[in-house]
Amino acid sequence: MNRKQSSLLYTEALEHIVGGVNSPSRSFKAVGGGAPVFMKRAQGAHFWDVDDNRYIDYLAAYGPIITGHAHPHITEAITRAVSNGALYGTPTELEIQLARMLKEAIPSMDKVRFVNSGTEAVMTTIRVARAYTKRNKIIKFAGCYHGHSDLVLVAAGSGPSTLGIPDSAGIPTSIANEVITVPFNDLDGLRQALEHWGDDVAAVMVEPIVGNFGMVMPKPGFLEGLCRMAHDNGSLVIYDEVITAFRFHYGSTQTYAGLENHDAIQPDLTALGKIIGGGLPIGAYGGTKQVMEQVAPLGPAYQAGTMAGNPASISAGIACLEVLQGERVYEEMERLAITLTEGLQSSADVHGVPLTINRIRGAFSTHFCDHPVTNYDEAQDTDGEAFGEFFRHMLDRGINLAPSKYEAWFLTTAHTDADIEATLTAADEAFRLMAQGK
């Protein structure tokens, strides 16, 4: 496949944009380097690059594009919004509508506040939890990624670990010292941390279903134990549902039928992003009334945003959720994901390539290993080089994946049986070449 124009643009981009990319996860550093593909158009499940190659896309822009690219209902909503003025700096009725939709789908949130990114949402939940508890420390889980704010970029997940940077430079030790990291799915580890740091712990924060070191389910009882221990300790529970909300069903992990005992796994604060903006910049956080009353202008915890709740992002979010309310939307994504993952697994088995697939409804991750992946250590202990080879073979056959062994494949409402079939043909060829050492 000829990607000459992409290479030329990458050379030019390197002159002007640091690293040539506006988010490090877009670089191909973790899959052997070289020019990333410069896309120029996207429609449905497909991308076209600047050399006019077509790709089937499973990146879905790292999650938000669950309805496929340029979905007409969302495009129409955005166009309508911006033609009425892009930004007001005043409240609008639209914000109430999206807030109401989020609350109906995620009952632990009595009150919501919109921000502009998942990073902002998480960052603010921490401030609110600290204001409410008057404590400082946060417990997080190894490999979970919660955006790039100082406090959570400690033992973070896909981005930094992919690049082999465990912690970012530029974060004072004094701040890192406020974060305690525990292995995911390890209640004993959490118990020990709480026993040790007890009264200092403002919140236990978690991706309740992990999306940042592959798709990883909490073990039965993990979230119940986490909530109980945190609350017994007087700490709040923060769920980072930036990836997971509206991903597996119309709602969040807190109401997901694949988990039991919903009453016992309700957080105090939830951070949202990605899907709820339909592809435009957004974040949101929400929680119980008494906790959210900490936030200005009601309470002492300050948080603000010039762009927050802008009509375009909010309209796109409403339109995206409306599409997701359609009949059998999630069932259909899951059906395609089952066909795809079963085909990938059997192809890998036939060619003798070790592969462990973690699938949760329409999202899954491909770990090049022959052991289960239930925590970050197990995810790290997979063959990154093999993933890099697979990634390149797939790209050369018109299949666009995230350039990281930790990231998920996302099915969208736009993928078809024909896309799955073409993907499986490409994957069979990729596994065959890998088995031959090519």
Active site amino acids: 145, 240, 274
Among 28, 141, 145, 391, which residue sits at the site for ligand PMP (rule: CB under 6 A)?
Answer: 145
Among 98, 243, 275, 353, which residue sits at the site for ligand PMP (rule: CB under 6 A)?
Answer: 243
What is the x/- site pattern for ligand PMP, positions 62-101, by CB under 6 A? x---------------------------------------
Binding status of residue 347 toward ligand PMP by CB under 6 A: no
Binding status of residue 211 toward ligand PMP by CB under 6 A: yes
Among the candidate windows 90-98, 117-125, 168-176, 262-270, which touches ligand PMP by CB under 6 A? 117-125
Buried b (16+ CB within 10 A) or exposed e, 299-308: eebebeeebb
Segment 266 to 295, residues that bind ligand PMP, using CB under 6 A: 273, 283
Binding status of residue 119 toward ligand PMP by CB under 6 A: yes
Among the candidate windows 9-17, 113-121, 169-177, 249-257, which touches ligand PMP by CB under 6 A? 113-121
**Cβ distance to ligand PMP smaller for residue 43 or 149:** 149
Q: Are 404 and 58 in contact (CB under 8 A)?
A: no
**Cβ distance to ligand PMP smaller for residue 122 or 139:** 122
At 399, the amino acid letter reads I
Among the candidate windows 145-153, 164-172, 260-268, 369-377, which touches ligand PMP by CB under 6 A? 145-153
Among the candidate windows 118-126, 222-230, 345-353, 379-387, which touches ligand PMP by CB under 6 A? 118-126
Among the candidate windows 133-141, 204-212, 303-311, 321-329, which touches ligand PMP by CB under 6 A? 204-212
- Return contacts of 217-222, CB within 8 angstroms, 24+ apart: 217/258, 217/358, 217/360, 218/184, 218/185, 218/259, 219/185, 219/374, 220/260, 221/187, 222/185, 222/187
Binding status of residue 407 toward ligand PMP by CB under 6 A: no
Distance between CA atoms of residues 231 and 50, nearest Å: 53
Binding status of residue 189 toward ligand PMP by CB under 6 A: no
Sheet holding 356-360, edge to edge: 356-360, 363-367, 409-410
Alpha helices in 251-366 (DSSP H): 289-292, 311-324, 329-351
Q: How far is CA 177 from CA 137, 152, 171, in A?
A: 8, 11, 10
Among 36, 118, 214, 317, which residue sits at the site for ligand PMP (rule: CB under 6 A)?
Answer: 118
Binding status of residue 146 toward ligand PMP by CB under 6 A: yes
Count of residues interacting with ligand PMP (CB under 6 A): 16
Q: How far is CA 113 from CA 248, 294, 336, in A?
A: 23, 12, 35
CB of 430 to ligand PMP, least distance (A): 26
At 251, the amino acid letter reads G
Question: End-to-end CA distance of the chain, in Å?
Answer: 16
Q: Taking CB positions, which residue lies at the least distance from ligand PMP? A: 118
CB of 150 to ligand PMP, least distance (A): 14
Distance between CA atoms of residues 273 and 61, nearest Å: 13
Binding status of residue 218 toward ligand PMP by CB under 6 A: no
Binding status of residue 314 toward ligand PMP by CB under 6 A: no
Helix axes 93-105, 311-324, angle to 10 degrees: 40
Read off the tokens for 165.
């940077």
Distance between CA atoms of residues 428 and 170, nearest Å: 44
Helix axes 222-232, 187-197, angle to 10 degrees: 10
**Cβ distance to ligand PMP smaller for residue 351 or 359:** 359
**Cβ distance to ligand PMP smaller for residue 59 or 430:** 59
Read off the tokens for 129.
């939890």
DSSP label at residue 18: G
Which residues lie near ligand PMP (CB under 6 A)? 62, 117-119, 122, 145-147, 207, 211-212, 240, 242-243, 273, 283
